Structure 1
Amino acid sequence: MNQNFDRAPGAGRARNLPVESGLPGTAGDGDTKTTFFNQREPLRQPRTSPPFAENNISTASDVVGGDCKRQNKPQQSANANSMPASKGSNDVDSLVKSSKLSASAPEFVPSGFNPCDDSVCYDENELYYGEPTLADMVTDFLDHLSSSPGSFESDVEDITGMLNSFVTTEELLQELVELIYTQSTSIPNFSYTGARLCNYLSQHLTVSPPSGNFRKRLLKRCQTEYEQRDAAVNGDAETQKKFHSFVLFLGELYLHLEIKSAKGPPNRAEILLSALKDLMNTLLSSPVDANLICAVKLLKLTGSVLDDAWKESGKPHMEELIQRIENVVLDATCSRDVRQMLLKLVELRSSDWGRVRAPPAASNATPDNDPNYFMNEPTFYTEDGTPFTAADPEYAEKYQEIMDKQDYFHDIYGENGNEVYDFEDEMEPEIEEAFENFCLESERKRQQ
């Protein structure tokens, strides 16, 4: 019994059991004995199938099939291609006959494909932009200045630097002038900023071909529009609108375009001064509402400057324009609102265009020559509540009484309003001695 017992873990499974006599294979058949006693319980099947079963199966079949399967695949595909050969050849012939494609075409463009434009091109892996044009650059600049006019001073230098690096030929300079003129007369309320930009570019743009720099080309472009004034003022509504925008832009250009002089400060362009006078006469020659409104806007914008310039040269052009406006008010068939605007304009000119001349110097100002002489003087009130100022005849007497009372109350109450008495000056020696005795007696009673 001890010989058949094995102490190793799990040894009982392989332990030799007693063999009954008479069983076949017990007479020295070692192989049969080993096979019989070494039988194991079959392994339990896994509850989940291994991943990629199909691939595993195919891999196993490839291993089993070996070369036979590799030889059969090409053969099967060849048979599949050879079966519909006759039918496929007929289809190809019919497609060739009905096709509109040409082998000599320069390129093949599928239907529904949009070719890339000039500035944006598409690639398989990335989107890239072409070289920006001058029109794109100027449009972006002007749109930025139109939306943020307050940034003109801080951005105009950078804008000019970029234009100097881009505008290097006569053709690009002419294109720049046309772009700025078009935008300045088409964008609403941009004529002021456009005129300032034109003045800055005329002084800081480096390109200057022999045919003319930026300022000369700009004035020439304005002259082209100026020569068409008679036809534009009598044109349709759209033509008149463009003409009115040009007139207001020319007024801003006269105010801001500076021409350097050899001595002294820069001057304004005199050629624009005479052009504005002719444009005003052209607008008043066709006294419809739109033309009259444009004339009023132009004179409100430049009237004081034009008036001063013509007075210095001794020309009565402003008086002539005002006389024509008064005749229009009397004779023209304009609307009531426009007539009221013209009357207000005449009134504005009679008040020197609303300008207030500088008051006399402080040393020369008197109540007689300066109506604002007593403007900054304080207002006082008497005991019965009557106000009086420095303009009153009795001002000095009443003011002295107030100051005397103020000094009196200041001595009694002090600066903070607390009552103050100077006992050393007011009490007699006997009273002072009696007061000291009173204080000592009070202190003695309090200690008891």
Structure 2
Amino acid sequence: MHINKTFSEHLQQTGIPSGSQDKVSVPDSGPEMADPQVAVAPVVTSKLSAKAPEFYPSGYNQNFNQNFADSSYEDRYDSYLTLAEYVQDFLNHLTEQPGCFETEIEQFAETLNGWVTADEALQELVELIYQQATSVPNFSYIGARLCNYLSHHLTISPQTGNFRQLLLQRCQTEYENRDEATKGDEATRKQFHAFVLFLAELYLNLEIKGTKGQVTRADILQEGLRELLNALFSNPVDSNLICAVKLLKLTGSVLEDAWKEKGKNDMEELIQRIENVVLDANCSRDVKHMLLKLVELRSSNWGRVHGTSPHTEATPENDPNYFMNEPTFYTSDGVPFTAADPDYQEKYQELLEREDLFPDYEENGTDLSGSGEPYFDDIDDEMDPEIEEAYEKFCLESEHKRKQ
């Protein structure tokens, strides 16, 4: 695959930052309180004060929210010396409080539009976000969402490329080094794997608007992920294979759907390659187990159930999810069966008919609740689901032994 040319063509087509505390002394007891026969304890001096400033955890920027609440761009700039400080502070803020994305992203983009007015500034912005997304654990998802938002809301679009173009160019630099990276030392591979997972999040979250206004994913990233998987499986050490499993668990269903729409069988080829790795590769037993579980996940359509009916129209015949909220029972051998099982009603009825297996506490004069009512009547409606399931399993096993 000529990924360089494809990336270039795609880019052309899409255009696409503590105060001191008062000392308070506790006075000695007065002379009338002193006992000359007893040694006087040392005077205790406290450094605590009700007038002390508020405490903030290490790394917390107490001025950050105030800066964003101020509608004056000039005042905000006074709090930061450089664009890098401002952007890095916001990225750290999102890392610590990702839930603030929805409420603060619009104002962040507006501020950038007033600040990022040169090619160099846009390049710097892209690099800062890329580094955060590939070096800070768990930031790849929120980083991808941030990239998608900025790709649609940053107004600067210089000849060197708009935000999305520069972002994809930055990703291409890492992509081209994939074969060397998968063969590198542990630190090199770790950095490469972070890039792979960030690219996967970009594929899922980066929206491209077509000529007719339709929103699609970036096909170039789809092809790029396919080649990255090839590189990972070509060097089947544990860390590379774990990265491949994470990538496919994250994007497998979307990739397979996209390939099927194009009449391609890429996922079948990948699954075959995984099975070969399990048979031939010198990887750990745990990693082989992960690969087999991935194959099992894919065989169940990535855990999805298609063709469900609206709730009001659902029946056991037309909705495969119809029984999903019904309780699960187990045979004495540990085999689960649910309401979808043909024998469910019969077995469930047997459970109901076996109530005489348990003593009636009220009849025996045993009132554990102290309320004059049977104990189990009090807790029946509040039974924990796990306890209830264990209880039902016990009942089935008891019945099985009784019939033997």
Considering the TM-score relative to the shorter chain, is it more than 0.5?
yes
- Is 1:266 the counterpart of 2:206? The answer is no
Is the Cα–Cα contact under 8 Å of residues 91 and 132 in structure 2 kept in the other structure?
yes
- Following the alignment from structure 1 to structure 2, what is the Cα–Cα distance between the partners of residues 159 and 198? 12
Normalising by structure 2, we get a TM-score of 0.59
Q: Secondary structure at the match of 1:359?
A: coil
Cα distance 1:178–1:348, how it changes in 2: closer, same or farther (>3 A)?
same
Normalising by structure 1, we get a TM-score of 0.54
Matches within 5 A, 1:101-250: 132-250=81-199
Identity of aligned residues (%): 66
- Following the alignment from structure 1 to structure 2, what is the Cα–Cα distance between the partners of residues 392 and 290? 47
Cα distance 1:371–1:220, how it changes in 2: closer, same or farther (>3 A)?
closer
Question: How far off its partner does 1:183 sit?
Answer: 1.1
Is the Cα–Cα contact under 8 Å of residues 329 and 342 in structure 1 kept in the other structure?
yes
Question: How far off its partner does 1:365 sit?
Answer: 5.3
Question: How far off its partner does 1:261 sit?
Answer: 1.3
Deviation string for 1:355-393 (max 9, x for gaps)? 12242356875554456668899xxxxxxxxxx979999
Q: CA RMSD in A?
A: 2.6
Cα distance 1:344–1:169, how it changes in 2: closer, same or farther (>3 A)?
same
- Structure of greater relative contact order (alpha carbons < 8 Å, 6+ residues apart): 2
List 4+ stretches of structure 1 deviating above 4 A.
361-377, 388-393
- Is 1:298 the counterpart of 2:247? The answer is yes
Gaps of 5+ in 2: 1-77, 327-343, 350-404
Matches within 5 A, 1:28-427: 132-361=81-310, 367-370=316-319
Deviation string for 1:120-159 (max 9, x for gaps)? xxxxxxxxx8961111111101000000001100010111
Which has the greater radius of gyration?
A: 1
Q: Secondary structure at the match of 1:259?
A: strand
Question: How far off its partner does 1:265 sit?
Answer: 2.7
- Following the alignment from structure 1 to structure 2, what is the Cα–Cα distance between the partners of residues 371 and 206? 47
Gaps of 5+ in 1: 1-128, 378-387, 394-448
Cα distance 1:271–1:389, how it changes in 2: closer, same or farther (>3 A)?
same
Cα distance 1:376–1:249, how it changes in 2: closer, same or farther (>3 A)?
closer
- Following the alignment from structure 1 to structure 2, what is the Cα–Cα distance between the partners of residues 165 and 307? 42
- Following the alignment from structure 1 to structure 2, what is the Cα–Cα distance between the partners of residues 375 and 140? 45
Cα distance 1:348–1:164, how it changes in 2: closer, same or farther (>3 A)?
same
Question: How far off its partner does 1:164 sit?
Answer: 1.1
Cα distance 1:389–1:143, how it changes in 2: closer, same or farther (>3 A)?
same
Cα distance 1:157–1:330, how it changes in 2: closer, same or farther (>3 A)?
same
- Following the alignment from structure 2 to structure 1, what is the Cα–Cα distance between the partners of residues 347 and 79? 77
- Following the alignment from structure 2 to structure 1, what is the Cα–Cα distance between the partners of residues 233 and 284? 15
The one-letter code matched in structure 1 to 2:179 is D
